[in-house]
Structure 1
Amino acid sequence: MKRLLLPAVISALMIAEVHAESFTISDIRVNGLQRVSAGSVFGALPLNVGQAADDSRLVDATRALFRTGFFEDIQLGREGDVLVINVVERPSISGIEIDGNKAIKTEDLLSGLEQSGLAEGEIFQRATLEGVRNELQRQYVAQGRYSATIETEVVPQPRNRVALKIDINEGSVAAIKHINVVGNSVFPDEDLTDLFELKTSNWLSFFRNDDKYAREKLSGDLERLRSYYLDRGYINMDITSTQVSITPDKKDVYITVNIAEGDRYTVSDVKLSGDLKVPQEELQSLLLAKEGQVFSRKVMTTTSELITRRLGNEGYTFANVNGVPETNDENNTVSITFVVDPGKRAYVNRINFRGNTKTEDEVLRREMRQMEGGWASTYLIDQSKTRLERLGFFKEVNVETPQVPGTDDQIDVNYSVEEQPSGSIMASIGFAQNAGLILGGSISQNNFLGTGNRVSLGLTRSEYQSRYNFGFVDPYWTEDGVSLGYNAFYRTTDYDELDYDVSSYSVDSLGGGVNIGYPISETSRLSFGLSAQQDTIDSGRYTVDEIFDFIEQEGDSYLNFKASVGWSESTLNRGVLATRGHSQSLSLETTIPGSDLSFYKLDYNAQLFVPVTKTYTMRLHTQLGYGDAYGSTSRLPFYEHYYAGGFNSVRGFEDSSLGPRSTPSDGSNPGTIEDPDQDELPFGGNVLIQGGVELLFPMPFVKDQRSLRTSVFWDVGNVYDTNCPSTSDKCSDIDIGDMASSVGVGLTWITAMGPLSFSLAMPVMKPDEADTQVFQFSLGQTF
């Protein structure tokens, strides 16, 4: 009642001078304006010249001017037939100073104040400031900062302006001292409190920050508690009350949740109803809820999603499937009916791409399995999204299917992508005593100029060695996904400038090849390749007996023609830094008739990602290789050997340092010279066995994890030689007990220069003569 009377009393006082009698307004004069324009006043005033002014109209005019919010005081007067309006403007805000805030950023506070009407240049209203102060207090309470205080000060300034000072004392977040669930008899307290995201203070709370009370987190915990019971048959479970109390010093919080469990219900019957659109037996196979099972809301919801998805695959994008439980309290059973409303079949109007500033639309469009004009298939739309993710060009891919305005049976499919670096650039410069200045560089681009083609170019040049290579792959040589790739390389070594003891051997090679890949399914493909390679062993002075023996038997120059066949499969969710799915490949490479040497190599690679939790993933990987000679060739050429150690192998050991070692010559063989300083160098072998386990986890304190991978790993592997030369005593047959192994942590970061990888590893089992390397890094490869 007071709120209604007060404006009337004020208005009556303000028009006291003109209350005597009504008059016709001949003119209107406004006094006291500073910043507010006269036009704003006349625009809000419901009186005009020539109109009659009486008590009612003057009261309405006063209220209308107050509603503008511009004025602190308004008085109406009369000079003859002239209406005189005297106003006092509210002050404007010259600036806002906020001090003491840490939990909430200053930018966020200023943005919130601006939305409430408090910003520099705006008109100041004390009621608004008080409302903002109360809202800030509420936000800090929601964060568990019950001791937070907010003081505001309005400092008058010249020219009818004010400065606002907001002093915040955030206090400390109250820690949860105890969580108690009351009324449970079926499940123990520990099982129920473990469901809560909120925890009582423990030694991990400093890192997890999970002992700080927040209203939103408690709401989520209560929903998890309710779902826990509903998924185990307690359909009538109810949370009767929740009490959150705080100690007088506002430092400790006690949470009590009172529940009523009710009885446990089982499923008595499961039925389908509605317009099914697909054969009923197909939908019957999707019914996860079975007669006699304990009722589970999660099972019921998942069944609805499966049926909805099945209908979506047939174009019924707007299908609605609801599981309706009917309880029988006499025997504690539930009858579930899944009501199917398919709606109209939807068709795709347009497929649009956004965010691909570098990659051409055609590269994305050729990965589409959903076609424009066809009915909208949920499976095909998702499959298209997965194929975009597997390209490795994008950090993230999202898809939306909005309905076309004005239609009820058409949708657009909008894919939005966020591009990431899809190649690597490497450059090196160095100096060696015998080799002189070493310059090197390489560039590889998996999305060359946005065309989706893979191009690599590299060169390394020093005083004694030059290496050149070029590779190109067109993944869509034909429209149906047949790929074409070719490569060429040239390596040459000149020992004239070097002392003989720099290296055990060198191979000068010139070659090239072509490869064709053929898709046999959405996730697998076959590949066929042909190549030619000319290899020449330097005919200088050899210091390794194994090399001398091979050259004596086979010569020092070979022209080999190789054929290869391979099969690969990948269900990985991403082309780079995958977290789900598996991949494997099997390849056979062999020389063919017309070659100087006869040998083959068989390789198998596989990796499997197994989700452990929502954020943790287990990665299992292996690499196996076997090579041997056939026909007139005595053994696998030494320059085709496998090597192990380093990145993409057994971390914690130097590159290629595992396995058999060479035998320094004693000078007894013709063409060799004894070198007492010659080391036993890694020589590789014809058998490779390596693998490992990694636990992938998110890096703490980093919000965007899409370009990062951190892991704890265990690597194991070694190289063996099943056909040791008679001159060698440094190699052995396969012996699993002689495996090298290491444990450590690793990190890979996708940078603009390429994948940057680090590892810190400690060898667990070290074979004799293996060289260890605790810290390793690499630019241009991932693991």
Structure 2
Amino acid sequence: MRPVPACVALMAAGFAQVSLAVEPFDIRDIRVEGLQRSDPGSVFAALPFRVGDAYNDDKGAAALRALFATGLFKDVRIELDGKVVVIIVDERSFIASVNFSGLKEFDKDTLAKALKDNGIAEGQPYDKAVIDRAEQEIKRQYLSRSLYGAEVVTTATPVGGNRVDITFNVTEGSVAKIGDIRILGTHAFSESTLLGLMDLTTGGWLTWYTKSDRYARTKLNADLEKIRSYYLNRGYLEFDITSSQVTISPDKQNIDISVTVSEGQPYVVAGVRLEGEFLGREADFRNRVVVRPGEAYRGDDVTATTRLFTDLYASYGYAFAKVESRPEIDRKTGQVVLVLQGAPGQRVNVRRVNIAGNSITRDEVIRREFRQFEGAWYDGNKIKLSRDRVERLGFFNEVTVETNEVPGSPDQVDLVITVTEKPTGSLQLSAGFSSADRLSLSASIRKENVFGSGNYLGFDINTSRSSRSLSVSTVDPYFTDDGVSRAIEVYYRTSKPINSRGDKFELATPGASIRFGVPFTEFDTVFFGVGGEETVIGTSEGLPLSYTKYVDTFGRYSWATPLTVGWAREERDNPVSPTRGQYKRINLDLSLIGDVRYARLNGQMQHFMAVPYFPKLTLGLNGEIGYGAGLGGLPYPTFKNFYGGGLGSVRAFEPNSLGDVDVTGVYNGGNKRLNLNAEMYFPVPGTGNDKSLRIFTFADAGNVWGDHAGTVTQQDRDRGRTGSLTDIRASAGFGLSWISPVGPLKMSYGTPLRSFSGDKIQRFQFQIGTAF
């Protein structure tokens, strides 16, 4: 006997009470029909009833809704066979594979992952509505890259077994380029000045690299904010952008941008008035006002002042202080009085500091960087410093600190520091080429956060024509609870003086060292350590004269125990490509015990700053000095000499060619060094504000000197080897700096401005990984 359909009665029961309602009964059995791929368990898990339960219209309707909600079925029916509930399903097709054709702009794997996150992947149910949404999203992605003519057509091909192959067929078309950008309504500043502020540009000879001629709404909005900020920082308090229109050509290949502005009149600050509660420290707050009466109104100064006020409130324990700025405008006189309204709220202390997001890094590694303690008054300066210290660990992509009120305790807050961890291990294999060392190879295995402890472990090997090294090192940044670091290194290095005769001679230095770093401030660190190293001079074949004399004094094997004392202060905004700040260091090596006894001093200072009136230009200054001397009546070891010439020293001279040359023609360098560099960085035309690619001009001066004994001959003067400052070499030129995927690349072309007979000139030079 055919089961009696119950679906009609169930649907009717959901909307109206009719006489066809099913009489409730106890379920004797449940049967599922129509399954091909799905697990019966997924059906039974969704049902709101089990065998033995009472069945009625409401439970039937609920079962239909639950089964449709699984997304596994196109159709679901419920029929009754006596007291047996029969679930009849029509499964959706399943996706057998996801394919792409015509992709050039996007990586296939990237798109496949994005689709998988949205339920479109092999083994997932096929849903036409989801596929349509994915198709539109792919189109939007192409629009974000100025491919307005991109078309996406999706085909679903049945392959048997209730499965389909999904193929996204993409016709990308050509990239739409910005043909024209106009700024209308300008009077105070030229249109070209305002266009120079924008990252979006029209086509140029380098836009193939910068892609700045590709339109994106987010980029345009950012550029409009730059223009707004430019006016607000020059007194135009009522400046407004009245419209911004983007026009696309019919063939979707050209984009024109038109921006209309209303400048208003410029305003001068007549005064600054404080209102509200300033904790009886109004003088302290006034000292933090950076807005100056008599000068043009500057929006950045107002923002900076309110931020400084908020920070000062926070340093006194007022975590939720509010500072509002209100300009009082006098249009007739063109003056404005800035009113700063302060409301500190209630002073609070920190109940707890909680850490979230760290699945690998131990809590103590993060907590020991915190300068805000539990139970102490809330201090905004210490909290900001704590966040910065955690960021500088380098273990996290993002570090945020939230201040949460404690319910029922208005005088307490909890701090939650949330971190997003990133991989801290690396395996690197690389090759480089320089004009000095030709081909060099390097490999390294490094782990900066070993087992979440915050410690560093590294293994490095490097090769070049004149220098090779193998080293194993480890650093414990918190060797003591006070933050004293400990670094241990074991190494084996070989070197070969430039122009050595034959290839068999080399200098080998196996050794080990331990160094401690004591932080005295947030920027200053003092280092001290001790090491032991052996110097082995190889075969006498091709041995330079200076090394022959060394062997006659010490033999081929010598031992030294250098002590190291140093200080460093790091204040640059970016160690790789700095534009602001200073870097200073002093390092002294002393070897007082062993066959070799010497002192070697190094000092360096770098200063980077913006050029006045030209904010896009950066001036970099670098100065280095070095001095070495033998101790205890022993000569200074030749292999500890300084070298000069080339990138990082005086450019346009061959690398390591400055200083003394012995009778065998080997460049020995010297025990004294002076190095002065100046560089002016310019943005590459067409790259907008991109600082990863810059051109520069340079001027270098310096030299390396050895100890000169006896009379200085005329030949010495002609060759600039008198041992005095009159031997200074100088050069000037231009170059290109690029933060490339394989490291910082710098190339230069220079001309000697002061050279002497016998100098080795090398006008074009390049190097990967040098700073100056």
Could you give the per-residue CA deviations for residues 645-673 of structure 1, whole angstroms, max 9, x where no partner exists? 356533554565323445xxxxxxxxxxx
Tell me which amino acid in the other structure corresponds to 2:729.
M
- The alignment partner of 1:726 has SS state of coil
Could you give the per-residue CA deviations for residues 76-95 of structure 1, whole angstroms, max 9, x where no partner exists? 77889998776544333332
Could you give the per-residue CA deviations for residues 343-364 of structure 1, whole angstroms, max 9, x where no partner exists? 43343844869989899967x8
Q: Note closer, same or farther for the CA distance 1:161–1:10 as it changes in structure 2 (3 Å cut).
A: farther
- The alignment status of 1:411 with 2:415, answered yes or no, reads yes
Provide the TM-score with structure 2 as the length reference: 0.70
Task: Quote the offset at 1:186 in angstroms.
Answer: 3.1
CA contact (8 A) 2:652 2:749 kept: yes
Q: Distance in 2 between matches of 1:60 and 1:638?
A: 91
Residue in 2 that maps onto 1:769: 758
Could you give the per-residue CA deviations for residues 237-279 of structure 1, whole angstroms, max 9, x where no partner exists? 3333332221111111112223333333443442223332472
CA contact (8 A) 2:96 2:165 kept: yes
Task: Quote the offset at 1:167 in angstroms.
Answer: 0.7
CA contact (8 A) 2:598 2:637 kept: no
- The alignment partner of 2:403 has SS state of coil
1:689 corresponds, among 674, 691, 701, to 674
**C-alpha RMSD over aligned residues:** 5.8
Q: Distance in 2 between matches of 1:114 and 1:351?
A: 34
- The alignment status of 1:473 with 2:461, answered yes or no, reads no
Task: Quote the offset at 1:319 in angstroms.
Answer: 3.4
Residue in 2 that maps onto 1:505: 549
Q: Note closer, same or farther for the CA distance 1:486–1:269 as it changes in structure 2 (3 Å cut).
A: same
- Map 1:317-396 onto structure 2 (within 5 A): 317-328=319-330, 333-343=335-345, 344-347=347-350, 349-350=352-353, 370=372, 373-383=375-385, 394=394
Structure number with larger C-alpha Rg: 1
Task: Quote the offset at 1:736 in angstroms.
Answer: 5.1
The number of aligned residues is 688
Tell me which amino acid in the other structure corresponds to 2:604.
N
Q: Distance in 2 between matches of 1:477 and 1:246?
A: 58
Residue in 2 that maps onto 1:247: 249
- The alignment partner of 2:549 has SS state of coil
Provide the TM-score with structure 1 as the length reference: 0.69
Q: Distance in 1 between matches of 2:362 and 2:579?
A: 24
Task: Quote the offset at 1:570 in angstroms.
Answer: 4.7
2:530 corresponds, among 480, 483, 486, to 486
- The farther-off stretch of 195-204 and 209-218 is 195-204
Residue in 1 that maps onto 2:219: 217
- Map 1:227-626 onto structure 2 (within 5 A): 227-277=229-279, 279-328=281-330, 333-343=335-345, 344-347=347-350, 349-350=352-353, 370=372, 373-383=375-385, 394=394, 399-403=399-403, 406=406, 408-412=412-416, 425=460, 443=471, 445=473, 447=475, 451=479, 452-458=485-491, 467=509, 469-476=511-518, 484-491=528-535, 505-506=549-550, 507-508=553-554, 510-512=559-561, 514=563, 569-572=569-572, 580-584=580-584, 604-610=603-609, 618-625=619-626
- The farther-off stretch of 152-161 and 347-356 is 347-356
Please, which runs of 5 or more residues in structure 2 have no aligned partner? Answer: 1-7, 425-446, 449-455, 480-484, 495-503
Q: Distance in 1 between matches of 2:626 and 2:216?
A: 55
- The farther-off stretch of 122-131 and 648-657 is 648-657
- The alignment status of 1:166 with 2:168, answered yes or no, reads yes
Tell me which amino acid in the other structure corresponds to 1:241.
S
CA contact (8 A) 1:71 1:87 kept: yes
- The alignment partner of 1:658 has SS state of coil
Q: Distance in 2 between matches of 1:497 and 1:138?
A: 70
Percent identity at matched positions? Answer: 27
Q: Note closer, same or farther for the CA distance 1:737–1:81 as it changes in structure 2 (3 Å cut).
A: closer
Residue in 1 that maps onto 2:23: 24
Q: Distance in 1 between matches of 2:738 and 2:317?
A: 43
Q: Distance in 2 between matches of 1:132 and 1:589?
A: 64
- The alignment partner of 1:124 has SS state of coil
Residue in 2 that maps onto 1:657: 657
CA contact (8 A) 2:693 2:737 kept: no
Q: Note closer, same or farther for the CA distance 1:775–1:175 as it changes in structure 2 (3 Å cut).
A: closer
Could you give the per-residue CA deviations for residues 390-424 of structure 1, whole angstroms, max 9, x where no partner exists? 8xx84878643233684642325567785657877
Could you give the per-residue CA deviations for residues 199-238 of structure 1, whole angstroms, max 9, x where no partner exists? 1122222121111111221222222233333333333333
1:719 corresponds, among 704, 707, 711, to 704
- The alignment partner of 2:309 has SS state of helix
- The alignment partner of 1:165 has SS state of strand
Q: Distance in 2 between matches of 1:570 and 1:698?
A: 25
Residue in 2 that maps onto 1:671: none
- The alignment partner of 1:96 has SS state of strand
- The farther-off stretch of 171-180 and 459-468 is 459-468
Task: Quote the offset at 1:603 in angstroms.
Answer: 6.3
Q: Distance in 2 between matches of 1:350 and 1:774?
A: 58
CA contact (8 A) 1:618 1:696 kept: yes
Tell me which amino acid in the other structure corresponds to 1:770.
D
1:732 corresponds, among 718, 722, 731, to 722
Tell me which amino acid in the other structure corresponds to 2:624.
Q
Residue in 2 that maps onto 1:537: none
- The alignment partner of 2:402 has SS state of coil
Tell me which amino acid in the other structure corresponds to 2:488.
V
Could you give the per-residue CA deviations for residues 679-733 of structure 1, whole angstroms, max 9, x where no partner exists? 4655666753322135679999xxxx99999988654312357965127552326
CA contact (8 A) 1:359 1:450 kept: no
Q: Distance in 1 between matches of 2:391 and 2:86?
A: 72
Q: Distance in 1 between matches of 2:359 and 2:40?
A: 52
Q: Note closer, same or farther for the CA distance 1:738–1:339 as it changes in structure 2 (3 Å cut).
A: same
Q: Note closer, same or farther for the CA distance 1:199–1:92 as it changes in structure 2 (3 Å cut).
A: same
- The alignment partner of 1:447 has SS state of strand
